[in-house]
Amino acid sequence: ATPDPLITEVQDWASGFGAPVDDAPYGLPIRFESDVVRRNVPWLTADTISSINFTPIHALDGTITPQGCAFERHHSGAIELKKEDYRLMINGLVDTPLVFTYEDLERFPRENHVYFCECAANSGMEWAGAQLNGAQFTHGMIHNMEYSGIPLRTLLEEAGLGAAGDLSDKWVYVEGADASSNGRSIPMEKALDDVLVAFKANGEALRMEHGYPVRLVVPGWEGNMWLKWLRRIEVMDGPVEAREETSKYTDLLADGVARKWTWVMDAKSIITAPSPQMPINHGPGALVITGLAWSGHGRITRVDVSKDGGKTWETARLARESETKALTRFYLDTEWDGSEMLLQSRAIDETGYVQPTKAQLREIRGLNSIYHNNAIQTWHVDSNGEAENVEVS
Amino acid sequence: DGFGLGREALPEEVAAWDVAVRPDGTGLPEGSGDVWTGEEVFTDYCAACHGDFAEGVDNWPQLAGGRNTLTDDRPVKTVGSYWPYLSTVWDYVNRSMPFGAAQTLSADEVYAITAYILYSNDIVGDDFVLSHENFLDVEMPNADGFIVDDRPETEYPLFSTEPCMENCKESVEITMRASILDVTPDEGNEDAAQDEAQDEAAAAPAADETTTAALDAALVAEGENVFRQCRACHQVGDGAKNRVGPMLNGIVGAPVGAVDGFNYSKAMAEAGQNGMVWTEDELKLFLANPREHMKGTKMSFAGLRKDDDLAAMVEYLKSFPAE
């Protein structure tokens, strides 16, 4: 065999200098990774001011999504709102309506939690059939971050919930400060459970596109409810039925009736590699099949992988114990014999819910739901290792 | 008790932000608007994206029509065919529209626009006047079209059985392939080509160096930022086309209302015929307050309030000469 010159010859980087410290006071990924970026699908929306893009999940590993490549969804563009100009109001059925500054918020006891945020429309283009070639595009409206923030319960109790009386039929209405003034109604039970008013993600300040300086975190529930640039929380005796909870984010069934208040994101998984953007380049032999699983109902307890389109399944290895309502990384460490595969993954959560097939979902919902498609995805891998988004019988 | 943080919200502050309107009419201010006024206001502020008859332009939302399509292969979800509550229309128009100039409409204008949208959906007649007093009398066609999430009953039991591990199917066939549709965006090749083109452009000596040198690069960059609010309707640069608004290459110094193939308002077309030219000063005056400076323009934009933004915008537009 020929000796590898990368080993036998002294390379520039082994002889000269690298970059000095302070070369990049806040660094970006090395330039060789410049293809690992958010992408949008131009035909989806009229304009990028009110649009969505996709996390490059195919190229990431582990579970934490770096903020810089975590998908964005704006209804009227990402706004610049500085901490000094930030105000949060709590009003409605509270003992004392309050206004907080950003500095006030930093004085409340805070918590850290990792949660996934998935847009209700993730995989929505796949209802009628296989459309987009890439895990980024079929499943990339999701990110997973460690949030630092204040339990919403703490802020509500600061304003006092005595005026609300019986809390079992009360709601909170949350609203953003941007021009879209997106607003969503959340039942009080959830508001007092695990909702966070967050100002840091993965240790750093929220990025502008994720709601700097303060956003709402609504664990396990659809991303549209995670209000960005959170400016107002109102305690109410009923829902507002705002545009984003009637005209949008309702699920039309085949009989013309639509489901509303479909907040929870059911268990779902996706093989991120191999996948259409991540072909097998190494030929037969050792192969790592990997992907992500998550459930809005709690922890992932098991992920199964099939190589033959669902005829037989084997149980994958979870990288570590699953956290509630957070992404879980799974691996199937296997051998590839170079033959075609129909790769699928199937998530199971702590409630015993098993991720369904597309056929199962279509039988109940039809093809026009748009939202909450958590069906099993199939990648066809050919003998060259190229993968394609397909549907199977 | 508590932490003693924050301060009491003043009534004026609550009134300023607490403007959400609910299905029972809670939050509606006093006021009224008729269909014909609504049509005028809609044409001015909304039609650029939603169409003169609320039929929708390009990918922008269609607001009228679509009745009895909810079981079709391609359902058309509009205010008339889908929205269950009229309060949602009023609330959304009031807080979030017009796109790019939210919260600039008066209560009467919002009533009028709402009345016009009802009329365009054949829900009311052309003599209808909507007000806070008759608001709850309007019947929305799809009011009964919604059920509360029933997945816990209809799906979870079905999907919670022990899954099959072996011999789960007799055969497996591929029934559909994404590559047949070919709608996946390219993997960044365009960007690379563009970068190359830009590098080449930078390397080649500029033919019109005097023009280039006259531009303030920092101001152009600021202008690009300001232009973000215009992008929904206007294109500029290589391959720019007319969209909701005309393309803007070479606009500085050009005659008013003269971009090929764009359907101008009567006011704009006449101004051009009378010899008006988009000088830098004229553009600034127009962009500071479009409706005031050009009565009858179709451009639904509130205006740039800051002189700095106006200067940056004009500098940015100057950086795109006519092709």
Q: Are the beta carbons of A257 and B147 separated by less than 8 Å?
A: yes
Nearest CB neighbour to B188, from listed A35, A232, A252 = A35
Structural domain including B238 reads 209-318
| Cα A302 to Cα A40, A231, A316, B79, B159, distances in angstroms | 31, 39, 7, 43, 15
* Rounded-to-integer distance, Cα B48 and Cα B147, Å: 34
Instruction: Give the type of residue at B220.
Output: V
Residue B74 lies in a domain: yes
Name the region of A167 (left: φ>0; alpha: ψ -120 to 50; beta: rest): alpha
Residue B308 lies in a domain: yes
Q: Are the beta carbons of B83 and A181 separated by less than 8 Å?
A: no
Q: Is the model's pLDDT at B141 over the cut of 80?
A: yes
Instruction: Give the type of residue at A166.
Output: D
Q: Are the beta carbons of B178 and A232 separated by less than 8 Å?
A: no
Question: Tell me: the pLDDT tens digits for B223-240?
Answer: 888 887 787 778 898 888
Residue B175 lies in a domain: no
Q: How many CA atoms lie within 13 A of A24 on its CB side?
A: 8
| Cα A86 to Cα A100, A215, A302, B20, distances in angstroms | 8, 12, 43, 20
> Closest approach of chain A CAs to the CA of B315, in angstroms?
23
Per-residue pLDDT, averaged over B305-318, amounts to 89
Q: Are the beta carbons of A390 and B232 separated by less than 8 Å?
A: no
Judge contact between A375 and A367, C-beta under 8 A.
Answer: no
Question: Tell me: the pLDDT tens digits for B67-87?
Answer: 999 999 999 999 999 999 999
What pLDDT, on a 0 to 100 scale, did the predictor assign at position B298? 77
- Alpha helices (runs of H) in B204-289, residue ranges in sequence order: 209-214, 217-226, 266-273, 280-288
Residue B9 lies in a domain: no
Domain check: are B107 and B221 in the same one? no
What pLDDT, on a 0 to 100 scale, did the predictor assign at position B266? 84
Q: Are the beta carbons of A393 and B231 separated by less than 8 Å?
A: no
What pLDDT, on a 0 to 100 scale, did the predictor assign at position B238? 86
Domain check: are B29 and B130 in the same one? yes
Judge contact between A211 and A288, C-beta under 8 A.
Answer: no
Q: Is the model's pLDDT at B297 over the cut of 60?
A: yes
Q: Which residues in chain A are closer than 8 Å to B18, comparing Cβ atoms? A: 91-92, 232, 234
Judge contact between B104 and B84, C-beta under 8 A.
Answer: no
The residue of A36, A44, A47 whose CB has the most chain B CBs within 10 angstroms, and thus the best one to mutate to test that interface, is A47
Domains and CATH numbers, chain A: 74-259 (3.90.420.10), 268-390 (2.60.40.650)
pLDDT-derived band at B208, boundaries 50, 70, 90: very low
Domain check: are B34 and B114 in the same one? yes
Q: Which residues in chain B are closer than 8 Å to A90, comparing Cβ atoms? A: 6, 9
Residue of A nearest to B5 (CA): A104
If you count residue pairs, one on A and one on B, with CB atoms under 8 Å apart, how many are there? 261
Structural domains counted in chain B = 2
Query: Which is more confident, B154 or A49?
Result: B154
What pLDDT, on a 0 to 100 scale, did the predictor assign at position B235? 86
Q: Which of B137, B162, B186 is the last residue of a domain?
A: B137
Instruction: Give the type of residue at A286.
Output: A
The residue of A103, A174, A175, A390 whose CB has the most chain B CBs within 10 angstroms, and thus the best one to mutate to test that interface, is A390
What pLDDT, on a 0 to 100 scale, did the predictor assign at position B300? 72
Nearest CB neighbour to A98, from listed B6, B21, B175 = B6
Q: Are the beta carbons of A309 and B160 separated by less than 8 Å?
A: no
Q: Give the range among A334-338, B37-41, B63-67, B198-202 with minimum mean pLDDT.
A: B198-202
Contacts of B274 (CB under 8 A, 6+ apart): none
Contacts of B183 (CB under 8 A, 6+ apart): A41, A43, A131, A132
Q: Are the beta carbons of A234 and B174 separated by less than 8 Å?
A: no
Residue B193 lies in a domain: no
Query: Which is more confident, A98 or B264?
Result: A98
Q: Are the beta carbons of B5 and A158 separated by less than 8 Å?
A: yes
Residue B258 lies in a domain: yes
What pLDDT, on a 0 to 100 scale, did the predictor assign at position B262? 85
Q: Which residues in chain A are closer than 8 Å to B183, comparing Cβ atoms? A: 41, 43, 131-132
Counting residues of chain B whose pLDDT is more than 70, the rounded percentage is 91
What pLDDT, on a 0 to 100 scale, did the predictor assign at position B304? 86
Q: Specify the CATH number for the domain of residue B293.
A: 1.10.760.10
Domain check: are B23 and B131 in the same one? yes
Residue B62 lies in a domain: yes
Q: Which residues in chain A are closer than 8 Å to B17, comparing Cβ atoms? A: 89, 91, 175, 231-232
What pLDDT, on a 0 to 100 scale, did the predictor assign at position B188? 52
Helix axes B107-120, B86-96, angle to 10 degrees: 130
Domain check: are B128 and B213 in the same one? no
* Rounded-to-integer distance, Cα A258 and Cα A253, Å: 5
Nearest CB neighbour to B178, from listed A130, A263, A356 = A130
Residue B166 contacts A where some CB pair is shorter than 8 Å:
yes
Question: Tell me: the pLDDT tens digits for B162-172?
Answer: 999 999 999 99
What pLDDT, on a 0 to 100 scale, did the predictor assign at position B209? 37
Torsion of CA B80, B86, B90, B95, to 10 degrees: -90
Q: How many CA atoms lie within 13 A of A226 on its CB side?
A: 30
Q: Which of B110, B137, B164 is the last residue of a domain?
A: B137
Counting residues of chain B whose pLDDT is more than 90, the rounded percentage is 55
- Residuewise pLDDT in 10s, chain A (393 residues): 999 999 999 999 999 999 999 999 999 999 999 999 999 998 888 888 889 999 999 999 999 999 999 999 999 999 999 999 999 999 999 999 999 999 999 999 999 999 999 999 999 999 989 999 999 999 999 999 999 999 999 999 999 999 999 999 999 999 999 999 889 999 999 999 999 999 999 999 999 999 999 999 999 999 999 999 999 999 999 999 999 999 999 999 999 999 999 999 999 999 999 999 999 999 999 999 999 999 999 999 999 999 999 999 999 999 999 999 999 999 999 999 999 999 999 999 999 999 999 999 999 999 999 999 999 999 999 999 999 999 999
Residue B189 lies in a domain: no
Q: Are the beta carbons of A243 and B13 separated by less than 8 Å?
A: no
Q: Are the beta carbons of B2 and A258 separated by less than 8 Å?
A: no
Domain check: are B131 and B239 in the same one? no
pLDDT-derived band at B195, boundaries 50, 70, 90: very low
Residue B45 contacts A where some CB pair is shorter than 8 Å:
no
Judge contact between A223 and A172, C-beta under 8 A.
Answer: no
Share the mean pLDDT of chain B. Answer: 88
Q: Are the beta carbons of B88 and A132 separated by less than 8 Å?
A: no
Q: Which of B137, B153, B178 is the last residue of a domain?
A: B137
